[in-house]
Structure 1
Amino acid sequence: MVLTQPYTAEEVSLQSYALIRRYTEWKSERKEEIPVMVGKLKILPLQRTVEWEHKRIPVVKREFDFLYLLATTPGRVYTYSQIYQLVWQEYPHGDITNIIYCMVHRLKQKLKKVDVNAEHIISSVKEVGYCLKVYKES
């Protein structure tokens, strides 16, 4: 980045943001998609789709982000606060427990439509948060 003098703080800031934006766009242009698979659950991050045994599950942005978060670290328990910060991308305020509970309930209903046992992959840890259970297929 080359700036000719005199320059303002605003100009430096705008040029910096432009460089960061270009780098981020360049870095995110991956040609291949690596699916995240946990048991029968398959998540395609670039297409932002979720499948259960090759059946597509329609999910909204936050449901996808929530499932992707859990699927990338199966077995790890995320607190309500961590989930809110990572999925909503803002600092938790108010009754976040109910907000997250409602989203998870809707997501479990969608999973249940595809397979009765699919909803059990999302496990609630009482008064703490959620994790993704990994069941051994038999």
Structure 2
Amino acid sequence: MVLETPYDLKEVELQAYALIRRYIIWESKETGSESLIEIGSLNINILKRVVYWNQMQIDLVKREFDLLYLLAATPGRVYTYSQIYQSVWKEYPQDDVTNMIYCLVHRLKKKLRKIDVKA
């Protein structure tokens, strides 16, 4: 990673996230394993960023996928709105983020219910 001075801290953070993501992908290819999460009817392929519900693919945008992955990877854990925002948006919240998280959850549930009403 090469940064010219003066550098922006946001740029450093984004480059670090990119390096970590590339390392995780590289490491999984080396070991021959794909990172999968399977919970009941839900299947998440983390590396391909693909989600299936009852063997039907669900098209999710980046933030919807990140939220679903966060919750599926840590079942039973309770998060604050601020923690969800930091994990999904990769930055610290500046204002009240309650409505943003609520809308994101609503869109995700709507997509799941198109496939299965019980979702």
TM-score (norm 1): 0.66
What CA distance in whole angstroms lies between the structure 2 residues aligned with 1:56 and 1:116?
16
Number of matched pairs? 101
**Aligned-residue CA RMSD in angstroms?**
2.2
Q: Residue 87 in 1 paired to residue 83 in 2? A: no
Q: Which runs of 5+ in 1 are unaligned?
A: 1-9, 11-16, 119-138
Q: Secondary structure at the match of 2:57?
A: strand
Render the CA deviation track for 1:43-92: whole Å, top value 9, x for unaligned: 00011011111011110000000000000111111110100011101001
Calculate percent identity across the aligned residue pairs: 56
Tell which structure's C-alpha radius of gyration is larger: 1
TM-score (norm 2): 0.76
Kindly indicate whether the alpha-carbon contact (under 8 Å) linking 2:25 and 2:47 is maintained by their aligned counterparts in 1: no
Q: Which runs of 5+ in 2 are unaligned?
A: 6-11
Q: Which has the higher helix share?
A: 2
Which consecutive aligned stretches of 4+ in structure 1 deviate over 6 angstroms post-superposition? none
Q: Which has the higher strand share?
A: 1
Question: Which residue in the other structure is 1:45 paired with?
Answer: 46
Give 1:1-138 correspondences, 5 Å limit.
Answer: 24=20, 25-26=22-23, 28-29=25-26, 30-31=28-29, 32-118=33-119
What CA distance in whole angstroms lies between the structure 2 residues aligned with 1:113 and 1:27?
32
